[in-house]
A and B are shown apart, each in its own frame.
Chain A
């Protein structure tokens, strides 16, 4: 399923709720859903069988340097 479907549905319902003067508290359900999603992401990560420390180390270096590169340009250019 495309992420646009729940997003647009949520936007529409939220906007309609706003026009109707409703202000539901979404913080608690959002926090619960977020923790559940991260748990399932962890399950997926744990299922990946890594072939040695080399793969893990090299991947970590790529992850750190790509994040650092993006942050550096965002800080310097903007």
Chain B
């Protein structure tokens, strides 16, 4: 739990720094991400177990489709509740947390919903970082991976690994990988509806 407070503090301080100072850190975010991915890879390699991998494969292939379907459902419900045209809701939901793709793609059709697509999916990533450690207290850590959507193969993978454990890290990576392959096809398809 102490680490979660450190996560919250990092995010809050970072947001305040970004908002008030707008410093130019260059590619520091990407650099840290790659360092983390490397460390996670090294940890997986050090603890590689073929039997574990076989078991994970079956489960991890079902989860992404449930994530996508649930995300579309959530997006549709949000659109209906807010009185927004359903296709925007479906498109925002289809982003599955991939804000850097969702925002620009939707913005080709609507600037306002492009901004909502960007921010909504960015919030999904942030909420996953903040809530995954809490959610696994009530939900199976493997199932809770769906919260992160496509981000579970990169940005939210460290937090999932840290709190969910090494065995969940494999599921999370495959989950994110499958969604990363699906989203660039599903999202433009919805936008053409």
Q: Which residues of A does B touch, CB under 8 Å?
A: 1, 3, 5-18, 22-24, 26, 29-31, 33-48, 50-51, 55-56, 58-75, 77-78
**Contact partner, A6, options B22, B38, B123, Cβ 8 Å:** B38
Do residues A15 and B158 form an inter-chain contact, with CB atoms below 8 A?
no
Do residues A69 and B73 form an inter-chain contact, with CB atoms below 8 A?
yes
Q: Which residues of B does A touch, CB under 8 Å?
A: 3, 6-7, 10-20, 22-23, 25, 28-30, 32-48, 62-63, 66-67, 69-75, 77-78, 81-82, 84, 89, 92-93, 96-97, 112, 115-116, 118-129, 131, 135, 139, 143-144, 146-147, 149, 153-155, 158-159, 161-162, 173
Closest to A67 in B: B147
Closest Cβ of chain B: how far from A37's Cβ, in Å? 4
In the assembly, what is the distance between CA of A63 and CA of B162, in Å? 23
**Contact partner, A39, options B14, B39, B139, Cβ 8 Å:** B14
Do residues A63 and B121 form an inter-chain contact, with CB atoms below 8 A?
yes
**Contact partner, B139, options A7, A33, A71, A77, Cβ 8 Å:** A71
SS class, residues of chain B in contact with chain A:
helix
In the assembly, what is the distance between CA of A39 and CA of B16, in Å? 10
Chain B residues, Cβ within 8 Å of A60:
120, 123
Chain A residues, Cβ within 8 Å of B17:
39, 42-43, 46
Do residues A35 and B10 form an inter-chain contact, with CB atoms below 8 A?
yes
Do residues A15 and B71 form an inter-chain contact, with CB atoms below 8 A?
no
Do residues A10 and B40 form an inter-chain contact, with CB atoms below 8 A?
yes
Do residues A7 and B38 form an inter-chain contact, with CB atoms below 8 A?
yes
In the assembly, what is the distance between CA of A14 and CA of B49, in Å? 12
Chain B residues, Cβ within 8 Å of A46:
14-20, 22
